[in-house]
Amino acid sequence: MKQFVKDLVHSYEEPLKEIRHHLHENPELSFEEYRTAEYIRKALGSMGIALQDGITGTSTVGILKGREAGPCIAFRADIDALPVEENNDLPYKSKTPGIMHACGHDTHAACLLVLARILSEHPELVKGTVKFIFQAAEEKLPGGAKALCADHALDGVDMVFGMHSSSNHPLGTITLSHSSSSAAIGIYEVAIHGKGGHGSAPHNAKNPVPVACLLASALNQILAEKKAPADTGVFTVSYINGGQYPNIITDTVTLGGNIRTQDNDLIQQIFGHIDSISHGICEAHGMTCDVTTTLGYPATINTPEYADVIADAADTMGYTPVEESGSLGGEDFAYFLMEKPGAYFHVGMADPDRPITSSPHHNCSFQLDERGLAIALEMELALYLKLTKQDGE
């Protein structure tokens, strides 16, 4: 299978780069990917791939049905860019001021479009149904995956897979987890309401500032007490705001921050502790509070058996599968894996001629080694062939 996949992908490398360059030159922000969506839909139409009805916004789902029975397998690529001014001297540099594909979503979309083209032009490889999900707005809450689930994008799907290019890993490295691939992200804010007054008469006021300090210290203990010691997580008090003048005791102080864990149940428990601790401390000091908690994205939890298939595909193609503990970054692919089994993996595309630290994700100097495009496409195609029991070809 290895040589078959490599030869087939090699024959599509030029259009793969051309598509990536077009997308990189024409980035669009989350929920605003109108031209990108039009480009993708036009490309899918030219391949004879039907579009799923009822998909709202700028996401697109293509459906390709094979001649033979088989599973329905979905592949997802995100398509949005970031509000970053590109600082790279590239022939395909962003043409849109202040917007850049600084996370590699252009590579994801290019690989998925070419995978769709390969399978549409080689119908003998298609067993069952393939769904090509081009998802809007991974970078901005509430994320595009949640809306796609509501729009029934995964109806009939048996398994779903996602891939992310990485400037943090050497070229040809395939990283994955058999459990959590990314973290659940929570955001909280507590508004403490006291009673304002003159700085010379604190006994006539109820100063929320020292209460906010006590609360910040107490909240920081939650994760240490509630998560298992070997588990990964962070709890951050990112800001305390309130008061402006030394002789004025303010009425209200707000504090807030974020929580990241690899356990979807734990983050809900933490939300409950934030609420009870905040109200308890404020009540003990004769004050009230308003507590707001928001779940950003859930944790992305891979299905172990499908992580095994990805590792097997990497081995078959001659790449190095590396087991990693999940990132504390967020990824709304989590919503798909809450509905269907599947897995998410990373493809190393670090440019060996550039220090990794000079091109981190979400940075104006972000770059990838374009040789990684073919590796990512090989992985997707090899994964598909293994899932459809064609790995002997």
Residue among 106, 138, 369, 380 flagged as catalytic: 138
Helix axes 13-25, 34-46, angle to 10 degrees: 160
Amino acid identity at 95:
K
User: Hey, how many other C-beta atoms are within 10 angstroms of the C-beta on 318?
Assistant: 11
Mapped onto helix, strand or coil, the DSSP state of residue 66 is coil
Distance of CA 173 to the CA centre of its chain: 19
- Coil, strand, or helix at residue 186? strand
Query: Is 290 part of the annotated catalytic residue set?
Result: no
Among 381, 364, 272, residue whose Cα is nearest residue 85: 364
Closest CA to 62 of 70, 71, 53: 53
Main-chain phi, psi angles of 223, to 5 degrees: -65, -35
Phi/psi of residue 229, each to 5°?
-55, -30
Residues sharing a CB contact under 8 Å with residue 225, sequence separation 6 or more, in sequence order: none
DSSP of 314-325, one letter per residue?
HHHHT-EEEE-P
Residue of 28, 78, 80, 369 marked active site:
80
Instruction: Point out which residues pair with 292 in neighbouring strands.
Output: 189
What is d(CA 201, CA 308) in angstroms, rounded to the nearest whole number? Answer: 67
Report the alpha-carbon distance of residue 363 to residue 239 in Å, rounded: 24
**SS3 state of residue 220:** coil
| 80 is a catalytic site residue | yes
- CA dist 160 and 292 (Å) reads 33
The DSSP element (H or E) to which 304 belongs, if any, is: helix 304-317
- DSSP for 126-145? -EEEEEEEEES-SSSTT-HH
Active site residues per annotation: 80, 138
